[in-house]
């Protein structure tokens, strides 16, 4: 388990959105993960989101206006992707 909150869970195998509806994404199938930053508008804080290719779909995995929470989720996903890549290298070298 890399991250857990009432909204999101990140493990070595899955990125799970818990709210508003549960959606699970297998880490093995995530490609081209990237971050979008939306500028501040009026009184609202700047928002950031994590997106990725999942199969043939571009999906939003997470978004937040809280920089601390966003950073924690982003880092958890990076660790999960690093673990996936490490496991793949190990499987092909063994």
Q: Which two tokens stand for residue 82?
A: 């690093």
From the list 12, 15, 53, the residue with the least C-alpha distance to 32 is 53
**Model confidence over 32-70: pLDDT tens digits?**
999 999 988 888 889 999 999 999 999 999 999 999 999
47-50 CB contacts, 8 Å cutoff, 24+ apart: 50/74, 50/77
User: Within a 10 A sphere around the Cβ of 63, how many other Cβ atoms?
Assistant: 14
pLDDT at 94: 59
pLDDT at 89: 78
pLDDT at 71: 98
Percent of the chain with pLDDT over 70: 98
- Prior bond of 20 cis (ω within 30°): yes
User: What is the spatial distance between Cα 67 and Cα 40, in angstroms, rounded to a whole number?
Assistant: 13
Taking residues 2-24, what's their average pLDDT? 97
pLDDT at 41: 80
pLDDT at 43: 82
């Amino acid at each position: 388990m890399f991250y857990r909150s009432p909204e999101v869970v990140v493990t070595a195998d899955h990125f799970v959105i818990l709210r508003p509806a549960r959606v699970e994404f297998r880490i093995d199938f995530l490609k081209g993960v990237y971050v979008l930053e939306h500028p501040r508008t009026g009184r609202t804080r700047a928002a950031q989101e994590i997106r990725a290719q999942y199969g043939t779909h571009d999906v939003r995995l997470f978004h937040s206006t809280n920089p601390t929470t966003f950073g924690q989720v982003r880092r958890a996903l990076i660790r999960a992707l690093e673990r996936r890549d490490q496991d793949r290298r190990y499987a092909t070298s063994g």
